Structure 1
Amino acid sequence: MEEIARVHGIANIPASTQGQFVPASAADAAYDFRMGLRRKLTGQGLYEAVTIKLVSQSQLQDALGTTPQLLPALPLRNPISDDHTTMRPSLVPGLLATAGRNLRMGAASLRFFEAGTIFAATPDGKAIERDAIAVLLSGPVSPASWSDSEPRAADAADLRGLLEALAPGVSVKLKPVKSDRLLIAAQVIVNGKPVGLCGQAHPARVRAIDGRHPIHVAELDVSLLQKAVSREVKFEEMPRFPAITRDLALEVPADLTNSKVEDFFGSQKEPLFIGAILFDVFTDPTGQKLADGKKSLAYTLTYRDSAKTLATAEADAAHTRIVTGLKKALPVSVR
C-alpha cells in the first residue's frame, strides 16, 4: 500500500477531514475511576505494590475479600509450583507478603496499596473476576525526629481516613461484623451501600511476618465503590440566616455504638434539623459519675430555618421533638 501511494503520488490522494465522535464508554469510566483511586492513595503517601496473581494454599488464610462470606477459591488444574496453586481470592495475602519482605529488610513504616483483579469460583466451578483495591497500614505514621522521637503507630482511625479520602463527599461508615479472618472486622458502607471489608490482622499473623506493630488492612470492590460514589451533584444557596446549636449529652449502654445514634439523626425528617456532630465520649471506671456498664456521648445539634431567622422558641421545640424521638428509638437518657 505504501509503494502504491508513492508511485501514484501522495499529493494525488484526496485528504479526508471527516472525523467521528467516539463517546466515553463504561470501560473508559471504570479505568478513569481506578486511576483516580491510585492517585488519591499515592497522594496520601502510600506506595503501590504489584504482586503475582497466584498464591499458595497457606496464603489463603490471609485472604480478606470484599464480602463477609469469602467465595470459594479458584485452584489451578496444573500449578507450576506449591507456592502458586490458586488464583488469588484477595489482594491482602500479597500485601502481607510484601510487608514481611519489607520488615525483614529493616522497614519500620508500612503504607502499601494494590489495585488488581481477584478471582473466585462459582458452585459449578466457573471463574469470577472482580477489580479490587486493598490497603495495608502498620508502624509509625511519620519518621522519628528530634521533636518526636517516638511517633505513634498507624491505627484504625488512619485507615478510616484513607477510606474517606477514596469517597469524598459521601458518607463512609464502618459496620462491625464477625470474621475469622481478622481480629477486629468491619464492613465498609459507602453512601449506604456495602463495598468491602476492613479491620486489624490477627496478632499471630503479624508475628509470623516479624511485625512489631498492629497491621490494619482494607479491601474494596472497585465496581461497587464506583457505583456508590456516583451521584448527581446538587448545589444549593449558601444559608443567609444564622443557625442555632444545642448540646446534648446522653447516658447510653456501653455497647451502644455512635453509629446507631448517628443513624437515628440521619433518619430524621424534622425540617429545622440540620445535623449532629459527636464531640465527646466519657466513661467512668470509678462509677461515681456514671453507673457501671454506661458511657456518655455528647453531641452538638444544629437547627436553621432557610427562610428566616430562627427564633429560640422554635429551635427549642424542634430540639425537644428530636430528643423525644431519640428516647423512644434507643435506650438513652439525657444527662
Structure 2
Amino acid sequence: VVPVHINVPDLCPRYGAIVVNGVRGAKTPAWMADRLRAMGSNPKGNLLIDGSNYVMYELGQPTHCFDISKLAGPKIIVRRAMPGEMLKPLDGQAIKLDAGMLVIADASKPAALAGVMGGFYTAVSEETDAILIESARFHPPTVRLASKATGIKSESSYRFERGTDPELPMKAARRLAGLILEAAPGAKVEQITDNCPVKYERPVVEIAPARVNAILGTGIADGEIYACLKAFQPDLKDSKPWKFTVPSYRQDIETVWDASEEIARYIGYDVIPAVSHMPMLPSAVTPQWAVGLEMKTTLAGLGFSEVYNYDFISVKEMKACAFYADMALEVKNPLSSDYQFMRQSLLTGLLKTLRYNLNRGRETVQIFESGTVYSKAEAGKAEEVHCAGLMAGAFPEGGFWQGGQGSAGFYHLKGMMNRLFSGKGGFRFEKPKNAPGYFQPGLCLEMKLGGNSAGYVGKLSAAVAAAFDFKDNNIFYFEIPLTSMAAAWKPEFWQKISKIKPVSAFPQNWRDLSIVLEEKHEWAELERSFSGVQDLASARL
C-alpha cells in the first residue's frame, strides 16, 4: 500500500492514486499511436507515457505515472517545497525550487512539481514493473506561478492553470488504468485511493428571466431561457427564480451575468438587437494596404490558402530557423517560454501550420500569411509587414488533367513569384549576397524590384526541416516585405495599365545560339547584357 498524504488541502483539494503492477514492457497499441499523431503528439512507444497523454487529450484531465520502485517509502506527500530543495524534471534541467511551490514528494525528496512536470528520478521506463497513477486537482494560480518561475510550460500546466473539472480526477485515473490493463494482460490493480479533504459542491446561481433580458437587452421568452438551462441541468425545477446548478466542467459560470452570456450563446447572438449611433467615417486606402490586398488575391488565385499565426516564438524556434539573436525583441512578461520573443520572420508559424496539416493527412499544402515582423532598431524597435508563403507535397493538388502528379519544386514557386510580380517594372531574380540562414545554400534567390530588395525565394535547409520534425526538406518558401511593393504602387487605374508598344515590322524568328563562356558568369549577368536589344521578345536558357 502506498499512503497518500495531503498537507495543503487548500492547494490540492483532491488527489487520486491507482497502483498497478505487472506493466513491464507494455507497448503502445497502434490505434493509440495513430490517434496521438493525428492530434500533433509524437508517440514514444511506451504505453505508460502515451496512455497518460492520450487520456489527457481525451478527457482534459492530466495524469502522471510514477515508478513505485523509485519512490522513497514508498509514500506520496503533497506539500509545499522547502527552502533549498532541488528537482530535476523530466527534461533533465535541474531547478531550484522556491519555498512555497507545490510539490509531490516521497518520503525524502520532491518527486514532481505539482501540475507542471514530473521528476526525472521517479520517471517510468521500459523496466518499470509497478506504477502509481496520479490524477489530481490543483490550485490554478499556484500552478501558474510555479510554471512561470521555473520557465517550464507543459500540456499539463496549460490545463491546470485554467482549472480542471473537479469531478474528473478519478474518472481519468480509472480510464488510464483500464487502457493499461487492456494492453498488458499481466497487469493488475493493487490499490485505489481517492484522497479528497475538500469536497467539491457545485455552485447554485439564481436566475430570473427578467434579469437575463435586462443584462442582454433582449426580450427572450421565459420558456426559451428555461429550455436552455434545462439542457445543462435536466432536473431543473420550473419555479422562478430558477435555481441553476452549475456543471462541474463549467468553472467559468459563477454569476447570473455568466449564465446570461451562456444563454445568449446557446440561443444565438442574433437575438441581441444591433443598435449603434456611431457615425461611419470615410476610410483611406494606403499603398501598403492596397498592395497587400492585391497580393492576397493573386496568391489565392494561384492555389494558396491564407493562414494566421501568433506573433510570438520560442528560443528553440528562433535557433532552429537561424534568426539573429541580437536582433530579437524579447517580451517582458511572456505567457510562457513558447511566446518569449517577437517573430523576425513569418517562417516559424507557417512551418507549424504545415506540420499540422501534414499530420492530418494533407498531401498538398500551399499556404501564405501576411503579418507583422519585429526587430531591434536604433529607435528601440522596428515593425514591418511581410507576406510569406510555402508549398510542399504533391503538385498540383488533384493531379494533372491528363493524369499523374508531380511534387512541388523550386521552379514552381519561382514561376509563381514571376506571376505575383507581373507588371511590376524592374522585377528580376539575383544571386543573394546575404541570404537568410534558413535557406539551403545554392537554392535561394533574391528578388529585386528596381534597386530595392523584394524578398527571397528558395528551398529550406535540411536543418530547419529536421528541427520541425519533417521527414525531408522539400519545402519551398518565399518572404516579401510589402514596403518594396508599396513603393512601386500606382494609385490610379490608368497608371496600372501596360503601355501599348508598336508591333515589330519583322516576322517572328527563333535563333539557337551556342555561346561558350567561363563558369564564373551567371545567367542573370548574361540576361542583363542583352535584355535591352530592340525587337528581342524573349530569351531562354
Q: Where on the TM-score scale, by shorter chain, does this alignment land: which range?
A: 0.5 to 0.7
Checking the alignment, whether the CA contact within 8 Å between 2:318 and 2:325 is kept in structure 1 is no
Distance 1:138 1:71, change over 3 A: farther
Report the number of matched residues: 249
Checking the alignment, whether the CA contact within 8 Å between 2:304 and 2:366 is kept in structure 1 is yes
CA distance in 2, matches of 1:222, 1:188: 13
Checking the alignment, whether the CA contact within 8 Å between 1:99 and 1:209 is kept in structure 2 is no
CA distance in 2, matches of 1:79, 1:224: 32
Partner of 2:502: 238
Distance 1:212 1:105, change over 3 A: farther
Q: Residue deviations 1:31-62, cap 9 Å, x none?
A: 22211111111111111110001111111235
Partner of 2:329: 74
Give the gaps of 5 or more residues in structure 2.
1-280
Checking the alignment, whether the CA contact within 8 Å between 2:350 and 2:369 is kept in structure 1 is yes
CA drift at 1:204: 2.8
1:50 aligns with 2:308: yes
CA distance in 1, matches of 2:311, 2:420: 24
The letter of the residue matching 1:107 is R
Distance 1:70 1:192, change over 3 A: farther
Q: Within 5 Å, give how 1:203-282 maps onto structure 2.
A: 203-207=462-466, 208-212=468-472, 214-228=474-488, 230=490, 232=495, 235-239=499-503, 241-243=505-507, 245=509, 246-266=511-531, 268=532, 273-275=534-536, 277-280=538-541
Identity %: 20
Distance 1:105 1:155, change over 3 A: same
1:137 aligns with 2:401: no
CA drift at 1:243: 4.5
Partner of 2:155: none
CA drift at 1:28: 3.3
Q: Which has the larger radius of gyration?
A: 2
1:173 aligns with one of 428, 432, 454:
428
| Higher mean C-alpha displacement, 218-227 vs 175-184 | 175-184
Partner of 2:295: 37
The letter of the residue matching 2:314 is S
CA distance in 2, matches of 1:227, 1:64: 29
Secondary structure of 2:407 counterpart: coil
Distance 1:211 1:276, change over 3 A: farther
Give the gaps of 5 or more residues in structure 1.
1-20, 281-335
CA drift at 1:108: 1.5
CA distance in 2, matches of 1:55, 1:139: 25
Distance 1:223 1:77, change over 3 A: same
The letter of the residue matching 2:462 is P
CA distance in 2, matches of 1:133, 1:154: 20
CA distance in 1, matches of 2:464, 2:321: 12
Distance 1:118 1:108, change over 3 A: same
Checking the alignment, whether the CA contact within 8 Å between 1:112 and 1:136 is kept in structure 2 is yes
TM-score (normalised: structure 1) = 0.66
The letter of the residue matching 2:500 is E
User: Which one has more relative contact order, counting CA pairs under 8 Å at least 6 apart?
Assistant: 1
Q: Residue deviations 1:219-269, cap 9 Å, x none?
A: 110121222354955623532622464543211233422111111113x5x
CA distance in 1, matches of 2:390, 2:402: 27
Q: Residue deviations 1:61-106, cap 9 Å, x none?
A: 35589xxx89811111111101000111111111011111112222
Distance 1:187 1:145, change over 3 A: closer
Q: Residue deviations 1:124-150, cap 9 Å, x none?
A: 6x121111100101111123589544x
TM-score (normalised: structure 2) = 0.42
1:194 aligns with one of 436, 441, 453:
453
The letter of the residue matching 1:167 is F
The letter of the residue matching 2:535 is I
Partner of 1:105: 360
